[in-house]
């Protein structure tokens, strides 16, 4: 009988102890999981806070610069700007040099007309688009004839450029000209009045009297002088 009573007492002692152990175990597990979860939850909070701080810093920097961030993409670096201005200056200088060299070259351009057993006439050319176009045809051999007792004329193989040409000219003795309405050369050995469409290509420097003596048609070779 005493053994039975002892067993019952032991049972009632062990039951509460077991219950307490279970309760403590469950509490300890929950505490452990809770101790981990807050740490895991704090990480995104910290990164979000850093992101907010970075955004605020960027906003402050943009406001301090006095311009939105987008304007940075539309700016041109000083090097690029200098390169462009240098390139433009170089091209402009090159074009100026070319024009100067071309003008200087035309100042020294002379052509020689040879006819009637080596008679020669020297013409100094003017600098204009029509003159330059005429020079591209040389050397030429043409047949000249007298016209109106004033000029010697000859048809060209093609029409010349009339770019920047005047509406007409008032020729004088020795003018070497192009008459655009007919597309021919006209060399004046006497003065003549204003003619619409007449473009002066150059001026005879010597030998005009030799041309004036030619009455019939005659063959002329025209070439550049060295």
Which runs of consecutive H residues, i.e. helices, occur in the chain? Answer: 2-65, 71-74, 78-107, 129-135, 208-212
Cα–chain center distance at 23: 86
Q: What is the pLDDT of residues 28-72, one digit of tens each?
A: 555 544 444 444 444 444 455 555 555 555 444 544 444 443 333
Residue 56: count of CB within 10 angstroms of its CB? 10
Q: What is the pLDDT of residues 163-208, one digit of tens each?
A: 999 999 999 999 999 999 999 999 999 999 999 999 999 999 999 9
Q: pTM for the complete prediction?
A: 0.55
Are 114 and 220 a contacting pair, CB within 8 Å? yes
- The mean pLDDT value of the chain amounts to 74
**Residue 79 is encoded by which pair of tokens?**
């090097």
Q: Distance between CA 89 and CA 20 in Å, rounded?
A: 95
pLDDT attached to residue 28: 54
Are 69 and 62 a contacting pair, CB within 8 Å? yes
Q: Distance between CA 194 and CA 215 in Å, rounded?
A: 24
Average pLDDT over residues 105-129: 93
Nearest to 21 by CA among 9, 29, 52, 130: 29
Average pLDDT over residues 125-135: 98
In the block, residue with structure tokens 């009637």: 116
Q: Distance between CA 167 and CA 198 in Å, rounded?
A: 8
Average pLDDT over residues 113-136: 97
């Amino acid at each position: 009988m005493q053994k039975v009573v002892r067993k019952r007492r032991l049972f009632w002692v062990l039951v509460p102890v077991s219950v307490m152990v279970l309760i403590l175990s469950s509490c300890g597990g929950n505490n452990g999981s809770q101790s981990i979860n807050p740490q895991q939850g704090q990480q995104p909070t910290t990164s979000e806070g850093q992101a907010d701080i970075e955004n605020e810093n960027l906003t402050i920097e943009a406001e301090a610069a006095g311009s939105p961030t987008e304007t940075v993409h539309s700016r041109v670096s000083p090097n690029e700007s200098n390169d462009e201005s240098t390139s433009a200056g170089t091209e402009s200088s090159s074009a100026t040099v070319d024009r100067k060299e071309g003008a200087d070259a035309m100042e020294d351009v002379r052509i020689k007309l040879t006819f009637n057993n080596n008679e020669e006439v020297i013409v100094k050319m003017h600098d204009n688009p029509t003159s330059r176009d005429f020079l591209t045809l040389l050397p030429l051999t043409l047949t000249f004839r007298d016209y109106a007792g004033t000029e010697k004329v000859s048809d060209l193989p093609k029409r010349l450029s009339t770019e920047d040409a005047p509406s007409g000219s008032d020729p004088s003795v020795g003018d070497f000209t192009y008459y655009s309405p007919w597309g021919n050369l006209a060399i004046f050995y006497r003065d003549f009045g204003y003619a619409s469409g007449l473009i002066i290509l150059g001026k005879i420097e010597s030998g005009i009297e030799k041309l004036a003596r030619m009455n019939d048609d005659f063959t002329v070779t025209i070439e550049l002088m060295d």
